[in-house]
Structure 1
Amino acid sequence: MKKQFAVIGLGRFGGSICTELLEQGMEVLAIDKDEERVNEYAAIATHAAIADTTDEAVLKNLGIRNIDHVIVAIGDDIQSSILTTLILKEVGVHYITVKAQNDHHAKVLQKIGADHVVHPERDMGRRIAHYIVSKNILDYLELSDEYSIVEIKVNELLAGHSLIDLDVRARYGINIVAIKRGREIIVTPPAEAPLQSGDILIVIGADTDINRFEKKVLG
């Protein structure tokens, strides 16, 4: 059986999630209180509904408790986001992901039982900032407040050296988990093989250790 999703709030963030889930072949219930937005997705979503999700009876009538995963992507209305999340939890939705506007909003969502809280604007801002500041870091994904996965381009200082030569785990406490080489992704790369200029290292570790590696090795 296909996994069933519901997306509440069809703005840019919610709409993009809805579209991507549908492209991946999932069943999606698209919900918004704005009729125009719902009509935009009615032709492509599995089901679409105009609804006030702060009303428990409305959510129950939509059969929301039977949905595997609900994404609450409500925009600026923090009160509606919190109320909707609380109701979803109370009616027994299995897994709830919620978009947070700020850290205070996130704390409330976590306290009332949201399974996963995302900060799309904040996270994208951090990724762009890392890209702007460093000519070596191509992408950045925060795993927690202290740990990240980054993509680091192999420059002339690294090219020709092997992973054994670099010994990054012992020296810097980080792990190179894969190498992108053109369209190829080399998982668990051979330690003795020399790196090539243009390779992209996929590195996981503490932010402080990654920064130390970048400054000392990449210049």
Structure 2
Amino acid sequence: MKKEFAVIGLGRFGGSICRALSEEGMEVMAMDVIEEKVNEFSSIASHAVVGDSTDESVLKSIGIRNFDHVIVAIGDNIQASILTTLILKELGVKHITVKAQNDYHEKVLNKIGADQIVHPERDMGKRIAHSIMSNNVLDYLELSDEHSIVEIVASQRLDGHTLISLDIRAKFGINIVAFKRGKDIIVSPQATEVIRKGDILIVIGADVDIDRFEKTMIGE
């Protein structure tokens, strides 16, 4: 089943998250207090809602607790961001990612239980979208418009196989440049290296090839 996401706040940051998730075929609900912004995303997101996220009754009415992941991307209104996060926690939302304006904001968000805190100045919307879309993708670094380095957790499908038996480079056009196994890091692994479930694979290649590899060999 596809994960369902809700993006609250459709500024530059929230908008980029919403677009990236939607482009990947995810179910996304877009929400903002400004009707013009909501209208802009009505044809992009699965659902677009005008509403005040600091009003608990509004969040309840749209069934916010049923979403797998809620991204609070409210702009300059730190108070609204904090209050929204607090309400989401009290309603039992499974996973909450919040945009922080500064270090003080981040400290407050940590205290009230935000699961993930991001700073748009350091983290592009596309990178965050990739990391929250899949439990297997731990990190994502964009090298160019079409190429990236990704940390992917090895699934049961890869357990016990060697690089040479999987023939990943020939089949997918990507390279596994390193493994992380516990505290150990294996750089430039040999073709006979055996992959274990839970290993963190450092993969480099074209985005389309990495995506194909993840969906074919990683998806559980």
TM-score, normalised by the number of residues in structure 2: 0.59
1:13-65 superposed Cα distances (whole Å, 9 cap, x missing partner): 00000011111111000000010000000112111100000000000001101
What amino acid is aligned across from residue 59 of structure 1 in structure 2? L
- 1:184-212 CA-to-partner distances (Å, cap 9, x unmatched) read 42433247xxxxxxxxxx8xxxxxxxxxx
Deviations 1:128-177 (A, max 9, x none): xxxxxxxxxxxxxxxxxxxx9999xxxxxxxxxxxxxxxxxxxxxxxxxx
Where 2:93 maps in the other structure, the secondary structure is coil
Structure with the larger RCO, 1 or 2 (CA within 8 Å, 6+ apart): 2
Inter-CA distance 113–190: structure 2 relative to 1 (3 Å threshold): closer
Q: Distance in 2 between matches of 1:2 and 1:18?
A: 15
Change (3 A) 1:65 1:104: same
Distance 1:23 1:150 in 2: 18
Aligned to 2:13: 13
Cα distance in 2 for residues equivalent to 1:26 and 1:41: 14
The 3 A distance-change label for structure 1 pair 120 and 50 is same
Deviation at 1:97, TM superposition (A): 0.2
Tell whether 2:171 aligns with 1:185: no
Question: C-alpha separation between the residues in 1 aligned to 2:141 and 2:54?
Answer: 39
Partner of 1:70: 70
* TM-score (norm: length of structure 1): 0.59
Q: Which residue of 2 aligns with 1:44?
A: 44
Distance in 2 separating the partners of 1:24 and 1:150: 17
Please give the residue correspondences for 1:1-219 in structure 2 after superposition, counting only pairs within 5 Å: 1-122=1-122, 184-188=174-178, 189-190=188-189
**Relative to 1, partners in 2 of residues 1:45 and 1:105: Cα closer, same or farther, differing over 3 Å?**
same
Moved over 3 A (4+): 148-151
Once the two structures are TM-superposed, the CA of residue 120 in structure 1 deviates from its matched residue by 1.6
Cα RMSD (Å):
2.7
Instruction: Tell me: CA distance 1:190–1:68, structure 2 relative to 1, closer, same or farther (3 Å).
Output: closer
Query: May I ask how many residue pairs the two structures share in their alignment?
Result: 142
Give the whole-Å Cα distance in 2 for the aligned partners of 1:150 and 1:89: 29
Report the 3-state secondary structure (helix = DSSP H, G, I; strand = E; otherwise coil) of the residue aligned with 1:70.
Answer: strand
Q: What displacement does 1:122 show?
A: 4.3
DSSP 3-state at the match of 1:42: coil
Q: Which has the larger radius of gyration?
A: 1
Instruction: For 1:13 and 1:4, locate their aligned partners in 2 and report how far apart those are by CA, in whole Å.
Output: 19
Gaps of 5+ in 2: 125-138, 143-172, 179-187, 191-201, 203-220
Partner SS state of residue 120, structure 1? coil
Question: Counterpart of 2:78 in structure 1: which amino acid?
Answer: I
Percentage of identical aligned residues: 70
1:93-148 Cα offsets, whole Å, 9 max, x none, are 01000000000000000101100101121457xxxxxxxxxxxxxxxxxxxxxxx9
Instruction: Supply the distance in 2 between the matched residues of 1:8 and 1:42 (Cα, whole angstroms).
Output: 14
